[in-house]
Structure 1
Amino acid sequence: MILAPLTAVAFLASCAPSPEGERHDAASSALSARDRLIACEQDPRVVAGLVTREICAGADIFFRETFEGNGRTCGSCHPVENNFTIDIPFIDALLESNPLDPLFIFEQDPELTDLETFELKANALVRENVDGFEDLDRKYVMRGVQHTLSLATTIAPDPANGTADVPLQRTGWSGDGAPGDGSLREFLTGGITQHLPTDLGREPGVAFRLPTGQELDLVLAYQLSLGRTNELDLTKVRLVDPKAEEGRLAFLDPNRGRCNVCHSNAGANHLDSGRNRNLDTGTRTAPGTNDPFGVFDGGYGGKGKAEPDLDVLETIDDGNLTGNTGYGDGTFNVPPIIEAVDTPPFFHSNAFGPDIEGAVHYYTLNFFRDSPAGKELEKRFGSPIAFPDSDIDKMGRFLRVLNAAFNLDLAKQRLEAAQVLALRFHDTRADVQRRLMELAEVEIDDALKVLFRPDTPLHPIASDRLHLAKGEIAAGLDAQRWSLRVGRIAAAISRVRNARDQFGSNITYRLGRGNLMY
């Protein structure tokens, strides 16, 4: 079967710009959820059964709907080509290619001067009024942008941690990022209100429009289909690299890393419950984690409070020396580590790094040891956490391999989808095939970056094979006919698979179908 030429509306539902080009299409705000669902019925990925029309339509809303706001979309801060987050290299590249991108609307529109601060460009931190909009000058925090990968595995709340008024789901860095019932579904409403308004009065119907119930459902379906949908079993994983395998053992060992308690199976859930828990790990007290002009991040639970109620600057032994400077109880929810390795810097403040080893090193510092979470581990195991510097490198290598495997599975999933489309539809909508190939290459590049170690090489043979895979993709992108393109895709898949086989066994991810949308 060959698809007939698609309509302009259907084109919007499956077309995407190149990483260097315009990232938004404000005209798509005229499309209703029904329009998008109808358009997606003609999307080759839907016709081929690779994704559902609901996931397709949800992705189109996520990447292209402006909600009659300032021109931003969800994809402005969660671009698919940058692991669904923004960092300084991405921002620098965007400034060079498109300085008028809506991400920088606060510099272009006088009504939005205080929508962001200079720290967006300087540290990739966005301004968040997580505790309410009633005091815009004082009641805000600066936070990094969390990726939206593997949310299906990370948002079930753990009521055992004692946090008051546990939301329906844990979203955002403090676990209370969504308005209303605190669900991922309602997170879209909060994101529009926070980041997309045309003025800081933020009145619905004036500064933006609220999403419809159907739009909320569709975006939720898309987000839950991103990344992986399962957890690993680290007790069964075996790694070929000796230091990485030793890092796996240290990660699991209660007398060494103890990491598996809070990041069970290198995910986001607590070992005891299998659910996402809020913890005070001391990051709020560490240097470089707060706004230099006096805005301090108190984490969870600041909503409805008229005055600061937490001394963000104190450590467990310092006493109350500076007075209350933040809103909340000092806790933040736990992110998954597998996906985090290639999204540095780390924690809610982008203050730790620059590589994953820098984040691991944080847990050897007194900021963590003296924190409530550190004291809880000390009580649980009978001694303070302590592991040698050599374990930092080993655990870093372990996490790098898990992340690289995830990258390569995403790359293979996209290449295999491009292969299916080429075989079935030949050159009809070849642009979709090519974009999937480009995004596969992005994941290969991430894997190469993660595997690069200037001191002791990490899987150099795999890296060589990945460079060969990139060559096949480049040739396939240049191919003018589907028969030539599909051959290059098949060769690239083989190279990626052979590289992935170098890592070890039982690193088995189940991937969501939303990874095929952009």
Structure 2
Amino acid sequence: SHPLFVADTTTELGAAFERNNLLRSFALVTVNADGFENLSLKFTLRSVPSLLGTIVTNRAPAPGFFVDFTGSGQAPNPPERLGWGNDAPPLRDFALGAVLQHFTKSILRRPGVDFRVPSDRELDDLAAYQMSIGRDQDLDLTKLELRVQVANRGRRLFLDTGNIGEPGHKNCNACHFNGGGTVGFAFNPDAPGFTPRLDGNPRGFNAVSGINTNEAPLALALGIPRDGGFGVTPLPGGGFGNIGNVPGFGPAPVEEFAIPSLVEAGDTAPYFHNHSALTLEDSIAFYDSAPFRAINSVGGPIGPIPVSISSNPSDPEVRAIAAFLRTLTALDNLRSALSLIERGRLARVPADAREMARLAMGEIRDAQANLRGGVLGRARDGSLFEARAHLEAARSLLAQAADEQVPGAAAQAAWGEAANAARRAREALADPETLPRSYRR
């Protein structure tokens, strides 16, 4: 057994600490988000959300915009938006809950006995690190010029947005504004600058939304317990969530989850809080499923955000949107790779430089995988072929920079050539002038 699976070898943790079959096969972690009073009944099974780009995705909504229903429910409004429930403590304190949940030697969870409480320095360092990883700027999809045709078609579909409750649109940009983890809508007509267009009110707020992934076919087949997401109020259907004042409907139980950024989606499968969609295409096609169109979803009969998409993962529109998202992730891989290359070139300690080279190679390999995924793997597009060739050149050059047998002068030359190859790959995918400053190294 791998040391990660502590429940296998630590009998004091008991059977309720982890559901090892789902942890191993679907990467679902047992989380007692609503308290430790009854471990066998009061638990959820959640995926581990990405921390990339946390600095641009954790801002709570301002009062009065009603971009979500947390302010009108029985749950408090947290100062930051973290975790799948979006009701976690601020980032610095988040690690305290993680240690209490996952790092204990017994289910008694006694501080100083079953686990060590992190020091202030450790909490500061963890928070600083988490805020440093990933991108620190959002894209502007209306200005972004992609050179791969199917990806650019997906971009246009992604931006197809209507008004509140208006059918016939994709509405991706409503909840994932500019592909990120903030929303573009408001539900309060008295909010400053209000417009009914679902991507017409971007304020940089992260929010929660109910799309009924608890009833996704895979979640039901696995017997995953119902998860209420935001809040700790017992709900009639099971789980702990919130009672929201739903516009046009009144007080009602709601199961709401954080809206994640999609810029990194090509690297973060499976999808949703319960990993109920295995591929990007599956996750997009979910928005034409019976669960999403149910009464308790934002896409239901009275829901404010209907979605017009096919339930077939092989549908051309579904594939195009997935190609667009994989291209965004490849561009983010290149942003990260170029940052690592710059740090590696300047590193004074050879071992540090080689580590930067290995990390940059990982980002290049991720970009290569994204450009082979889905319909991109079969697309006959000159820009795509060019990007792949430059990525392979960058990977080969970084392998030289990472090799301790390569002389210093040759390694330095490899760094420079690798950076140029990565830039050429980026330019094959998009016009660099339409990318954020941090993407244009």
Q: Output the TM-score relative to the length of structure 1.
A: 0.70
Structure 1 288/121 Cα, relative in aligned 2: closer, same or farther at 3 Å? Answer: same
Kindly provide the amino acid, as one letter, of the partner of residue 173 in structure 1. Answer: W
Counterpart in the other structure of 1:236: 143
Match of residue 251 from structure 1: 158
The verdict on how the C-alpha distance between 1:509 and 1:387 changes in structure 2, with shifts beyond 3 A counting, is farther
Query: 1:57 corresponds to which residue?
Result: none
Shift of 1:238: 1.2
Give the letter for the 1:110 counterpart.
Answer: T
Q: Equivalents in 2 of 1:498, 1:345: separation in Å? A: 30
Match of 1:288 in 2: 218
TM-superposition CA deviations, 1:245-291 (whole Å, max 9, x none): 12111111124321001100000111033201111011112222258
Residue 376 of structure 1, CA deviation: 8.4
Pairwise CA distance, 1:379: 4.4
Q: Aligned partner of 1:474: which letter? A: A
Q: Which residue pairs with 1:116 in the alignment? A: 18
Query: Moved runs in structure 1, 4+ residues, more than 3 A?
Result: 290-294, 307-312, 375-380
Alignment match of 2:274 (pick from 349, 354, 362): 349
**1:105 & 1:379 partners in 2: Cα distance?**
44
Within the candidate set 190, 207, 211, 1:277 is matched to 207
CA RMSD of aligned residues (A): 2.1
Corresponding letter in the other structure for 2:18 = E
The one-letter code sitting in structure 1 at the alignment partner of 2:283 is: A
**Could you tell me how far 1:232 is from its partner in structure 2?**
1.0
How many residues align structurally? Answer: 380
Alpha-carbon distance between aligned partners in 2 of 1:125 and 1:500, rounded to the nearest angstrom: 34
Task: Select which of 402, 410, 425 maps to 2:336.
Answer: 410
Q: Do 1:231 and 1:509's aligned partners in 2 also have CA atoms closer than 8 Å?
A: no
Q: Which residue of 2 aligns with 1:202?
A: 109
Residues 171-210 of structure 1, C-alpha deviations (whole Å, 9 max, x = no match): 111112x3xxx21111110111111111111111111121
Match of 2:298 in 1: 373
Distance 1:372 1:296, change over 3 A: closer
How far the C-alpha of 1:430 sits from its partner, in A, is 1.5
Answer yes or no: is the 8 Å Cα contact 1:232–1:509 preserved in 2: no
Cross-structure match for 2:423: 497
Q: CA contact under 8 A between 2:355 and 2:402: conserved in structure 1?
A: no
- State the match for 2:131 in structure 1: 224
Q: Does 1:363 align with 2:287?
A: yes
What is the aligned partner in structure 2 of residue 310 from structure 1? Answer: 237
Q: CA deviation at 1:509?
A: 5.8
Among residues 26, 41, 46, which one is paired with 1:138 in the alignment?
A: 41
1:108–1:379: structure 2 CA closer, same or farther, 3 Å change rule? closer
Partner residue, 1:514: none
1:295/1:387 Cα in 2 relative to 1: closer, same or farther (>3 Å)?
closer
Q: Give the SS at the match of 1:419.
A: helix
SS in 2 for 1:415: helix
CA distance in 1, matches of 2:2, 2:156: 48
Q: Which secondary structure does the structure 1 equivalent of 2:266 belong to? A: coil
Structure 2-normalised TM-score?
0.81
Name the structure 1 match of 2:243. none
Deviation of 1:378 (Å): 5.6
CA contact (8 A) 1:402 1:507 kept: no
- Structure 2 unaligned residues grouped into runs of 5+: 162-167, 185-200, 240-252
Distance 1:195 1:290, change over 3 A: farther
Q: Output the CA distance in 2 between the equivalents of 1:509 and 1:173.
A: 30
Give the 3 Å change call, closer, same or farther, for CA 475–379 of structure 1 in structure 2.
closer
Q: What does residue range 69-80 of structure 1 map to in structure 2 within 5 Å?
A: none
Contact 2:293 2:301 in 1 (8 A): no
| Kept after mapping to 2: 8 A contact 1:268/1:337 | yes
The separation in 1 between residues aligned to 2:259 and 2:42, in whole angstroms, is: 23
Q: Is the 8 A contact 1:144 1:349 kept in 2?
A: yes
Cα 1:474/1:379, change in 2 over 3 Å: closer
